Structure 1
Amino acid sequence: MNRIYLATGFFFLLAISTYGLLEWYSAKEQSSSILNRTDKPEFIAENLNSAIYQASGALSYHVAAQRMEHYAQLEVTHFEYPKYTLYPKNKNATWQITANEGTLYNNNRVKLKNRVRLIANDDDSLIREVHGKNLEMDLKSNIISSEQTILILGKGFTMYGSGLIVDLNTTQMTLTEHVQTIYNQTQN
């Protein structure tokens, strides 16, 4: 019986060792393929500051970033620490959206991630800030959305939820799942 346990243990260790080696080699190959990418940016901009206008001549949005890399073959532009200022079509107050990373696709959709903040520049706005891990925005329609957890800071309240759709043109905001709202006590 001891031989059976010994043989089983040996084969078990052999299987674990083989699996570990295969995983290690595949991880090594993946990391080397990322480092040796043939996709090189067509151009790079440091301290980017750009204004984009509509066909009518009205300012559509302004973008600033610490670094921007444009990949023509992939049709994407990657931003480090982007800051967008959005100008709604109905001439309402502007909104700013910032993040640690952003990717602009050729269809004018931007995916922002890591410490994303949407800030209202109107002092009379009920919503002051929206915080999330990821947000997507359509630069043509000024619609911002997320399916992740969201924190909303407003005048006298803090709201937690997930799934957000914001239309900056109509200032309509929809929260898919409301988790909790905390109201601040006001003094007379």
Structure 2
Amino acid sequence: MRAGIAELASPHPLIGLLPSIFADDSFAVRWTEGFDQVLAPVIGTVDCLGAYVDPLLAPEDFTRWLAGWFGVLLDENWSMAAQRAVIAEAVALYRMRGTMAGLRRHLELVVDGEVRIEESGGVSWSVRPRPEPPTDVEHWVRVIVTPAPRSPTSKAAVEAVIRAAKPVGVLHSVEVIEP
């Protein structure tokens, strides 16, 4: 994933690990410098491993790969700060998935502004697994978003969050009010 960086010096040159007689040999110095160039990005990555697995610190290109570890689907319409926040709270979001609290928290992470959620309050249950959805109870969620001024919040980004966080049988509508 990480590419080599030109002119990156190794923090632990190999020539320093050899007997001092090799320090005077120009061939040995050049030969170990070749290994140093190859190993420098690896050593740098291992030294900073904690930053790579922290979604709030990881490089942007590594963040999408890190999202795959948690099975998080990121929308390209979200800001990088929102993507990082969703990855950082992935476990808590999965725990609350399908609830209004989970939907609200997910939207708060992605949307920079005010989020209002209205719901039908309809509830149904069945003793059979995978029953047909009931026709006598209406399940719906209405999300009203007022983004902060100059916020890049789009209706498509809000729709993606709702589809990911709400139960499948619940209808939803979205209204984005321009500030």
What's the TM-score once normalised by structure 2's chain length?
0.25
Q: Which structure's CA Rg is the greater one?
A: 2
Relative to total residues, which structure has the larger strand share, 1 or 2? 1
User: Which of the pair has the greater relative contact order for Cα pairs under 8 Å at 6+ separation?
Assistant: 2
What's the TM-score once normalised by structure 1's chain length?
0.24
